[in-house]
C-alpha cells in the first residue's frame, strides 16, 4: 500500500479521484489508486501534519481513540475496583479518608449469609432458564428445520421477543402477571381450571422465582433456537441419507447424528446465555425488584444495593471481583469442554 | 449377495424426466457400471435402487422380492456417496461400526470388531481406526466410506462416483483395489460413473445411459466394438470415434441406408502418399509421451487418431487414409449391422 503522499496540492478538491484505470486493473493497484486519490484531496493543512509519518504511525493514530476509551472505561475501573476492594472506601463519604483493610471485605462477603442466599437465587435462575431454553429452543429449531410451509414467517414471529428491551419486557410482564386482569393468569386459569385471581406470580414467595424464569425463557429462547437452527442447517443431507441406508431409524439418527453434530452450537448458545443471565439485572429489577422479600434478589441486584444504596464501596468491590472471578473461571472450564466436543 | 432387477422404472422431478422406462438386471456377483454424462439419470437410478427416491412407475426387485416401496433400511443395500459422507463427530472405527450397531442387527461387539479389522486390512486403513474421521486425507476418507459399505455384506453395493473427488493417481490405485476386493468377495456392485476408463476396467457389464434412457447394456468389449448407435460409440474410446458423413472417407462397401460412418482410431489405414492418391493432410502431432495423437484434415473434416510413440510422420505431410473396419449408422444415428 502506498504511503500517504503529501505533495503540495493546489486545487485540492477539484482533482478527480480516479487515477488512470483500465478494466483489467488488479485489486491492489485499484486500492492504491484510491489511496493516491484520497491523498490528493487531503487539505494542505492536514497534509502538512501527517507528512512523513510511517504506515504504522498512522495506524496507531487511528486506533488511539479506541484504546484510550477502553483504558478509561474498562481497564482503569477494573484495576481501581481491585484496589478499592482492599479498602474501607465509601464513595458517598470520600473525604473520610481511605484505610487499607486487607482481605477483610472478601472475608465479610464470603461469610455473609444474605450473599450466599443471592448466589442460590442466581443458581436457581441460571439452572432453570438454561434447561428450559435449551429444551424449548432446540425443539423449536428442530420443528422450523422441517421446512414446513410458512416456516419463514414463524421464524420471524418466534424471534420477536428477543428484539425487545429487557426493561420493556419486565415492565409489561408485570401486567401479564396481574391476578385480576393479567393474560398469563387468565390463560393458566383457562387451561387448568384454577381461579386466575387465586395466585400471584410476582407477589408469592413460592412463585416469584419461577415468574422470572418464565419471562427470561420467553424472551431468550429464540436466541437459543436461532443458534440451534444454524447447527441443524449445517448438517448436510447426505449424512442423513447415509444413516438411513445404514439402517438407522429416526430415533438413532437423532441421538447419534443430529444431537452430537448440533451439540457444539448448543453449548455455545448456553455459554452466551449463562454469562448474560449470571449478570441479569434489568429484567428482574423491572419485574420484581428482587422481591417479595429477597426471593428473587439475584447477586447483581444485591451488588447494586450494596454499592449504590448502602454505599459500601469497598465491600461491593470485593463482591464484584468475586462474581467476576466466578463467571470467568466457570466460562473458562466450559470453553475447554466445548473445545473437546468440537474436536471429536 | 443377491441379484437386483429394475423393471420399467420412470422417475420425474417436476418437469424433468430423470429416468425413463429403465429395465435392467444386476446378476449375483456382477459388477455393473452405469456410464453416462452429467444429467443422464445415473445417480437417480442408483438412489431408486437404494430407496432414497420412490419411482413414479415400475418396480425394484432385490433377490426376487419387490422392494419398490420399502424403506432404505429394510432393503439391505449399502451406498457409497460421491462426497465423503463420513459421520464427522465419530472416529474411523465408529464410522465403520455404525451400520453394524443398528438395533435391528444386535451384533455382538467382538464380531463387529473382527469384521471391521478385516475390512480395514483389506482397504489398508488398519492404522487409522482410532483417528477422527475429519483428520484423514481424501483418499483415506473415501476408503472409510467404502469400508462402511463393505462391513455390512449387503445384497448389493451401490456406488455413486466414489472415486471422482480423488486425484488421478489415487483414483487409479483405488480402482484396482476396488476391482480386486469385488472379485475376492464376489460382491454385487452397481457403480455409477462418467469416467469411461473406470467403466472399461472395472465393469463386467456396462450400461450406457442417455437422457434417462438405458441405451445399451453389454460387456465392455461389446459396447466398444459393437455399439448400437452413434451415442454409445462416442461414449467409449480415447481419442473418441471419428464420425463422418458417408462419402467423406473411402470405404470398401457401404450399406444402402448408411448416412454416416464411424471409424475408431485403430480402424484407419494410414499411409504416406505424396502422389495423386493422397486424400488427407497431417495438421499437427500431439506428443503425449506413451502415445501420439495425429490431427488430420480430410477434405472439410478433421480426424483425431492415435499413433505409435515412434511415429515418423510430421506435420504438413500428405497422407492416404482408408477405413479398414468402419461402423455404419443410419440417418437417426442407429447402427447398421
Question: B205 — contact with chain A (CB < 8 Å)?
Answer: no
Could you tell me the CA-to-CA distances from B285 to B243, B293, B305, B317, B323 in Å, in that order? 20, 6, 10, 11, 20
Long-range contacts of A122-127 (CB under 8 A, 24+ apart): A122/A278, A122/A280, A122/A298, A122/A299, A122/A300, A124/A209, A124/A213, A125/A209, A125/A212, A125/A213, A125/A216, A125/A277, A125/A280, A125/A296, A125/A298, A126/A274, A126/A277, A126/A278
* CATH 3.40.50.300 placement within chain B: 4-233
The shortest C-alpha distance from A56 to chain B (Å) reads 39
Q: What is the mean pLDDT of residues A91-97?
A: 80
A contact set with B (CB within 8 A): 236, 238-239, 241-249, 252, 256-257, 260-261, 343-344
Residue A182 φ/ψ, nearest 5 degrees:
-70, 140
**DSSP state, B254?**
-
Task: Decide if B73 and A257 are in contact by the 8 Å CB cutoff.
Answer: no
Q: How many CA atoms lie within 13 A of A70 on its CB side?
A: 5
Pick the CATH number of B4-233 from 3.90.1150.10, 3.30.429.10, 3.20.20.150, 3.40.50.300: 3.40.50.300
The shortest C-alpha distance from B151 to chain A (Å) reads 11
* CATH 2.40.50.140 placement within chain B: 242-336
The shortest C-alpha distance from B19 to chain A (Å) reads 20
pLDDT of residue B101: 87
Q: Is residue A220 within 8 Å of A204, Cβ to Cβ?
A: no
Q: Which of B48, B73, B80 should we substitute to test contact with A (largest number of A Cβ atoms within 10 Å)?
A: B73
Task: Decide if A239 and B104 are in contact by the 8 Å CB cutoff.
Answer: no
For residue range B73-86, what is the model confidence (pLDDT) as tens digits? 888 899 998 888 88
pLDDT of residue B143: 87
For residue range A225-247, what is the model confidence (pLDDT) as tens digits? 999 999 999 999 889 999 988 88
pLDDT of residue A73: 94
pLDDT: which is higher, A123 or A8: A123
Task: Decide if A245 and B72 are in contact by the 8 Å CB cutoff.
Answer: yes
CATH architecture of A106-343: Orthogonal Bundle (1.10)
Query: Would you list the domain boundaries of chain A?
Result: 1-53, 106-343
Q: What is the mean pLDDT of residues A75-86?
A: 93
The shortest C-alpha distance from A344 to chain B (Å) reads 5
Could you tell me the CA-to-CA distances from B28 to A87, A163, B119 in Å, in that order? 87, 62, 21
Task: Decide if B98 and A343 are in contact by the 8 Å CB cutoff.
Answer: no
Task: Decide if A241 and B85 are in contact by the 8 Å CB cutoff.
Answer: yes
Task: Decide if A236 and B83 are in contact by the 8 Å CB cutoff.
Answer: yes
Reading chain B (337 residues) residue by residue, the pLDDT tens digits are 578 888 998 999 988 888 899 999 999 989 999 998 888 889 999 999 998 989 999 999 988 888 888 888 888 899 998 888 889 888 899 999 998 988 777 888 888 999 899 888 888 888 888 888 888 888 888 889 989 998 888 889 999 998 887 888 888 888 888 898 899 888 899 999 988 888 988 999 999 998 888 999 999 999 888 888 888 888 888 788 888 888 777 777 778 788 888 888 888 878 777 777 778 888 888 888 788 888 888 888 888 888 777 777 778 888 888 887 888 888 888 888 7
Could you tell me the CA-to-CA distances from B330 to A95, B217, B258, B325, B335 in Å, in that order? 110, 20, 5, 17, 6
Question: B88 — contact with chain A (CB < 8 Å)?
Answer: yes
Max CA separation in chain B (angstroms): 81
Q: What is chain B's alpha carbon radius of gyration, rounded to the nearest angstrom? A: 24
Q: Which of A234, A239, A247 should we substitute to test contact with B (largest number of B Cβ atoms within 10 Å)?
A: A247
Pick the CATH number of B242-336 from 1.10.132.20, 2.40.50.140, 2.60.120.10, 3.90.79.10: 2.40.50.140
Query: Is it the case that residue A17 has pLDDT exceeding 70?
Result: no
Q: What is the ipTM of this complex?
A: 0.81
Residue of A nearest to B100 (CA): A246
Q: Which of B89, B130, B157 should we substitute to test contact with A (largest number of A Cβ atoms within 10 Å)?
A: B89
Amino acid at each position: 500500500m502506498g504511503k500517504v503522499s503529501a505533495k503540495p496540492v493546489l486545487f485540492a478538491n477539484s482533482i478527480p479521484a480516479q487515477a488512470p484505470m483500465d478494466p483489467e486493473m488488479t485489486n491492489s493497484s485499484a486500492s492504491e489508486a484510491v489511496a493516491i486519490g484520497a491523498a490528493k484531496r487531503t487539505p494542505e493543512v492536514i497534509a502538512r501534519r501527517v507528512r512523513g509519518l510511517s504506515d504504522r504511525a498512522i495506524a496507531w493514530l487511528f486506533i488511539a481513540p479506541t484504546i484510550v476509551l477502553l483504558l478509561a472505561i474498562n481497564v482503569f475501573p477494573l484495576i481501581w475496583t481491585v484496589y478499592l476492594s482492599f479498602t474501607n472506601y465509601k464513595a458517598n463519604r470520600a473525604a473520610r479518608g481511605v484505610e487499607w483493610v486487607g482481605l477483610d471485605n472478601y472475608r465479610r462477603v464470603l461469610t455473609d449469609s444474605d450473599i450466599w442466599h443471592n448466589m442460590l437465587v442466581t443458581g436457581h435462575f441460571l439452572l432453570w432458564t438454561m434447561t428450559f431454553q435449551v429444551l424449548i429452543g432446540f425443539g423449536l429449531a428442530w420443528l422450523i428445520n422441517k421446512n414446513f410451509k410458512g416456516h419463514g414467517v414463524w421464524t420471524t414471529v418466534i424471534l420477536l421477543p428477543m428484539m425487545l428491551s429487557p426493561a420493556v419486557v419486565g415492565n409489561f410482564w408485570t401486567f401479564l402477571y396481574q391476578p385480576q386482569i393479567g393474560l398469563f393468569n387468565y390463560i393458566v386459569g383457562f387451561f387448568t381450571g384454577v381461579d386466575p385471581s387465586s395466585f400471584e406470580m410476582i407477589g408469592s414467595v413460592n412463585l416469584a422465582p419461577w415468574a422470572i424464569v418464565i419471562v427470561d425463557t420467553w424472551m431468550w429462547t429464540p436466541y437459543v433456537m436461532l443458534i440451534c437452527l444454524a447447527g441443524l442447517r449445517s448438517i448436510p443431507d447426505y449424512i442423513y441419507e447415509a444413516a438411513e441406508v445404514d439402517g438407522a431409524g429416526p430415533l438413532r439418527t437423532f441421538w447419534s447424528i443430529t444431537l452430537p453434530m448440533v451439540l457444539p452450537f448448543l453449548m455455545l448458545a448456553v455459554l452466551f446465555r449463562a454469562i448474560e443471565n449470571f449478570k441479569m439485572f434489568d429484567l428482574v429489577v423491572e419485574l420484581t425488584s428482587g422481591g417479595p422479600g429477597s426471593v428473587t434478589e439475584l447477586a447483581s441486584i444485591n451488588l447494586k444495593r450494596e454499592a449504590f444504596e448502602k454505599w459500601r464501596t469497598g465491600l461491593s468491590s470485593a463482591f464484584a471481583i468475586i462474581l467476576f472471578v466466578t463467571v470467568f473461571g466457570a466460562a473458562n472450564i466450559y470453553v475447554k469442554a466445548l473445545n473437546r466436543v468440537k474436536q471429536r | 449377495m443377491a441379484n437386483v432387477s429394475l423393471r420399467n422404472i420412470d422417475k420425474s422431478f417436476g418437469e424433468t424426466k430423470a429416468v425413463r422406462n429403465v429395465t435392467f438386471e444386476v446378476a449375483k456377483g456382477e459388477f455393473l457400471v452405469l456410464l453416462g454424462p452429467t444429467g443422464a439419470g445415473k445417480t437417480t437410478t442408483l438412489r431408486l435402487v437404494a430407496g432414497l427416491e420412490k419411482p413414479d412407475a415400475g418396480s425394484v426387485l432385490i433377490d426376487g422380492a419387490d422392494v419398490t416401496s420399502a424403506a432404505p433400511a429394510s432393503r439391505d443395500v449399502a451406498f457409497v456417496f460421491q462426497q465423503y459422507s463420513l459421520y464427522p463427530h465419530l472416529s474411523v472405527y465408529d464410522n465403520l461400526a455404525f451400520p453394524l450397531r443398528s438395533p435391528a442387527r444386535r451384533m455382538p461387539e467382538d464380531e463387529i470388531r473382527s469384521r471391521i479389522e478385516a475390512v480395514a486390512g483389506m482397504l489398508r486403513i488398519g492404522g487409522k481406526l482410532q483417528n477422527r474421521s475429519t483428520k484423514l486425507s481424501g483418499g483415506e476418507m473415501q476408503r472409510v466410506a467404502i469400508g462402511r459399505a463393505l462391513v455390512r455384506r449387503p445384497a448389493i453395493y451401490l456406488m455413486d462416483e466414489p472415486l471422482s473427488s480423488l486425484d488421478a493417481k489415487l483414483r487409479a490405485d483405488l480402482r484396482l483395489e476396488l476391482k480386486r476386493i469385488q472379485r475376492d468377495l464376489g460382491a454385487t456392485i452397481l457403480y455409477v460413473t462418467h469416467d469411461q476408463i473406470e467403466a472399461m476396467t472395472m465393469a463386467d457389464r456396462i450400461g450406457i445411459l442417455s437422457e434417462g434412457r438405458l441405451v445399451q447394456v453389454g460387456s465392455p468389449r461389446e459396447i466398444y466394438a459393437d455399439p448400437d448407435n452413434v451415442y454409445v460409440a462416442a461414449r467409449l474410446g480415447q481419442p473418441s470415434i471419428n464420425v463422418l458423413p458417408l462419402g467423406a472417407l473411402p470405404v470398401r462397401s457401404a450399406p444402402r441406408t448408411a448416412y454416416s460412418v464411424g471409424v475408431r482410431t485403430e480402424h484407419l489405414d494410414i499411409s504416406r502418399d505424396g502422389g495423386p492418391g493422397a486424400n488427407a493432410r497431417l495438421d499437427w502431432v500431439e506428443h503425449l509421451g506413451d502415445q501420439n495423437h495425429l490431427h488430420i484434415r480430410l477434405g472439410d473434416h478433421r480426424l483425431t487418431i492415435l499413433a505409435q510413440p515412434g511415429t515418423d510422420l510430421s506435420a504438413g505431410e500428405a497422407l492416404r487414409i482408408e477405413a479398414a473396419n468402419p461402423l455404419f449408422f443410419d440417418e437417426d444415428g442407429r447402427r447398421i449391422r
